[in-house]
Structure 1
């Protein structure tokens, strides 16, 4: 049985190849292959995500956790404190 991650990767690859072939056929040039790798950079700022939100911080070393999965600092074992960010 194929896992969902593998299936998603295969479908993404097939869609990407079909889109590349369609653009190559439409523009009738191989230059499409030079510009396609840069398409994700065009849409990079549209996500609206400013980065991970710091949830907890170590008072001693400054380690910052972005999820509630950490209760203690992996560096020195101190209990993490919640932040207001």
Structure 2
């Protein structure tokens, strides 16, 4: 959680500095507040890496077909209704 907070603070400072530089150079008021939210875009990559290393939720598979899921709420295969292993 600390690295995410640090990234957000650095992003906020960078966006304010970029906004000030654009205002100084062009006279246009542009306010970039979307930059601190970039870590949210890459959250899925970290979750996928955690699932591949075994740190994430357990993978459940259908014994009849190739259906696989990590969602703990899914207990049956949506294709044929077989209980997942």
Q: How high is the TM-score relative to the length of structure 1?
A: 0.41
Which protein has the bigger helix share?
A: 2
Q: How high is the TM-score relative to the length of structure 2?
A: 0.41
